[in-house]
Structure 1
Amino acid sequence: MSADDRRGADGVTITNREIYDQVLQTKALTEQLVQKIDAIETRDRDHETRIRSLERKVWMALGGGTALGGAAGALATFILGG
């Protein structure tokens, strides 16, 4: 088989080594992407935890404010003799 017979229709020859190198490069890039996705998922879980904590504090503050408002209203009614 001559060199001309091994070439593709456009005259380009791609060796097994070149294919192997591209596969290794693709593998390395895929591993980097997996690491980035894992980091993003970890960050998102942290954000969810922080948001839930803030929401819990807001609802507790609203409940406390409601209780204090009711107590203040009852005290005002008692003082004013309503």
Structure 2
Amino acid sequence: MADKSQSWKDNKPGKMFVDQSCIACDACVLTAPNNFHMHDEDGHAFVAKQPSSPEEEELCKEAMEGCPVEAIGNDGE
């Protein structure tokens, strides 16, 4: 389960976040490329854009469920 207190500072403010347990597997970026990006220097994913449509919500949910280390969270804000 993702820990909001361990979320990367690169995450855009909002309900979705990626925490520091991310292993840079790229799964979220491949699933929801409009919302997740990879930080090239630090080697971790982050939320580049909070979901703003039902389609993006669904893709972000799919990315969260598919994360092998459960580094993606949704705190519902």
Higher relative contact order (CA 8 A, sep 6+): 2
Q: Which has the higher helix share?
A: 1
Q: Which has the higher strand share?
A: 2
TM-score tier after normalising by the smaller chain length: under 0.3
TM-score (norm 2): 0.23
Structure with max Cα Rg: 1
